[in-house]
Amino acid sequence: MNCNQCEQTFRQTACVSSPGTCGKDENMHSLQELLLYGLKGMAAYAHHARRLGQSDPDVAAFMEEALFATMTNVNFNMDSLLALCMRCGEMNLKVMEMLDRGHVETFGQPAPATVRHGTVAGPGILVTGHDLLDLWNLLKQVEGTDIMVYTHGEMLPAHMYPKLHRHPNLAGNFGGAWQDQKREFAQFPGAILATTNCVLIPPESYRDRLFTTRATAVPQGQCIEGDDFSAVIEAARRCAPCPDAVTGESVVGFHHSVLLAHAETLLDAVKAGQIRRFFVIGGCDGAAKGRNYFSDYAEATPQDTFILTLGCGKYRIRDHDYGEHLGFPRLLDMGQCNDAYGAIRVATALAQAMNCGVNELPLTLVISWFEQKAVAVLLTLLSLGVKGITLGPNPPAFITPDVFQVLQERFDLRLTGGDPRGDAARAVA
């Protein structure tokens, strides 16, 4: 299945409920699907948090209750189901906060870091996915050897944590967005470790050197049991060495704590008219047409604005030179979808400091849509009462027109259009 087929499969939802929840009750089924996708995304965040020693019994209890509500002949009330979706968003905020805390306590206080892109000469292992603990365990097992480890895709934010970034065997980053992995993994000569979702079924060109962990698996793949990565290390020894081919560098690591440390400076600049607007442009990316909207939008943002980006949607915009403003890069890379809590934390802290609501901030959210964690984050934003979010490039296929109309009426939810540069200009008008 190629990337376009993956995206189409996710966007098409067949009715799997009892006859009483289909047909004329398709709106009930739509809300059940919205809740189920949100729960799946929240479960992914909760899984990562639990591996870092963070859990909450209230979260587990809610997941049980919400799943029960989607069973046959349990809930046929739109208001009740929508309320459960909002509670899913509230609980997901708690889960993302736990995950953020787990990352900081385990790997150190985040800081901006310069990341080298490409490879250095010698044996190498490429790590993709979201599980930073897997990366750390691998680094410990190759420490003292000549095997270099590289981050890919969702693993890029690892470099903002000092415990990881300073490890002598973490050599840099190779590649970009998940949907490009078949081309990029074929180009990388060493072993490859996929730690979580966003792995694609591998072609023969690299199938024998791709390894997965725990729930992540592919046909005819090699799944690692526990935290013993000796098989990956042995494969790196067998594979051809990486060439000395450094292609450049970039800066990551604008964690919410980094930005809030400069909150007073940023607030003074807003009040003085030196910062017209903050844009959050990112989210979950896919390969279907229409996603160039986000890159065109970002490039059209004025020079006296800042772009906060996170999620794999950032790969649509991070290669452009946006310059600097007030001594900061205009593009502030906050991390991946696992770091979505950071953008919410910055927005709520700024609103509190300015004694206003989030919707009154000079803030525009332009979010790309694809997978289940994007659903969970969207429900979190809606549960916080955030309005005017632009979502795209397509409306969620499992949300019926009636349900989408309710979301539009309550939250001013908008869809991306055909004029990204005009939309950017109107946002600051």
Residue 23 has pLDDT above 70, yes or no: no
Residue 129 shares a structural domain with residue 163:
yes
Residues 202 and 256 in one domain: no
C-alpha 322/C-alpha 103 separation (Å) is 29
CATH number for 97: 1.20.1270.20
Nearest to 171 by CA among 197, 203, 198, 145: 145
**What's the total number of domains in the chain?**
3
Q: Which domain-ending residue is among 107, 137, 170?
A: 107
- Which of 15-29, 123-137, 316-330, 360-374 has the lowest average pLDDT? 15-29
Cα–Cα distances (Å) from 5 to 14, 315, 382, in that order, read 15, 20, 29
Longest dimension (CA), the chain: 64
With beta carbons less than 8 A apart as the criterion, state whether 271 and 297 touch: no
Is the per-residue pLDDT at 17 higher than 50? no
Is the confidence at residue 132, as pLDDT, over 50? yes
What is the 8-class DSSP label of residue 253?
A: -
Residues 6+ apart with CB under 8 A from 55: 46, 49, 98
Q: How far apart are CA 200 and CA 266, in angstroms?
A: 41
Looking at the fold, whether 122 and 38 belong to one and the same domain comes out as: no
Would you say residue 16 has pLDDT above 60?
Answer: no
Instruction: Pull the structure tokens for residue 86.
Output: 């909002």
Domain residue limits at 51: 3-107
Whether residue 357 is found in the same domain as residue 257: yes
| Position 11 pLDDT exceeds 80 | no
Residue 393 has pLDDT above 60, yes or no: yes
Element housing 323 (H / E): none
For the segment 296-322, the average pLDDT, to the nearest whole number, is 94
Q: Tell whether 183 and 165 lie within a shared domain.
A: yes
Model confidence at 221, pLDDT cuts 50, 70, 90, reads confident
Q: Are 363 and 356 in contact (CB under 8 A)?
A: no
Same domain, 229 and 258: no
- 179-199 pLDDT, tens digit per residue, is 899 999 999 999 999 999 889
Q: What percent of the chain has pLDDT over 70?
A: 93
> Are 297 and 321 members of one domain?
yes
Same domain, 256 and 394: yes
CA atoms within 13 A on the CB side of 335: 27
Beta bridge partners of 117: 173, 248
User: Is residue 130 located within the same domain as residue 48?
Assistant: no
- Single out the residue in 196, 228, 248 at which a domain terminates: 248
Eight-class DSSP state of 179: G
User: What CA–CA distance (Å, rounded) separates 151 from 128?
Assistant: 6
Looking at the fold, whether 16 and 79 belong to one and the same domain comes out as yes
> Are the beta carbons of 124 and 147 closer than 8 angstroms?
yes
**Residue 305 clears pLDDT 50, i.e. is over it:** yes
Residue matched to tokens 């008008």:
429
The pLDDT tens digits for 275-294 are 999 999 998 887 766 688 99
pLDDT tens string 75-116: 888 999 999 999 999 999 999 999 999 999 999 999 999 999
Residues 6+ apart with CB under 8 A from 64: none
Helices 78-107 & 372-383 angle (0-180, nearest 10):
110
Contact of 126 with 152, CB cutoff 8 Å = yes
d(CA 351, CA 365): 15
| Per-residue confidence (pLDDT) for residue 290, from 0 to 100 | 65
- Angle CA 30–33–34, to nearest 5: 85
The pLDDT value recorded for residue 268 is: 95
Q: Quick one: pLDDT at residue 25?
A: 85
> Same domain for 268 and 413?
yes
- 147 and 13 in a single domain? The answer is no
Amino acid, res. 13: T
What are the tens digits of pLDDT across the range 28-84?
Answer: 999 999 999 999 999 999 999 999 999 999 999 999 999 999 988 888 889 999 999
Q: Distance between CA 39 and CA 92 in Å, rounded?
A: 8
Domain final position from 78, 107, 136: 107
Q: What is the pTM of this model?
A: 0.91
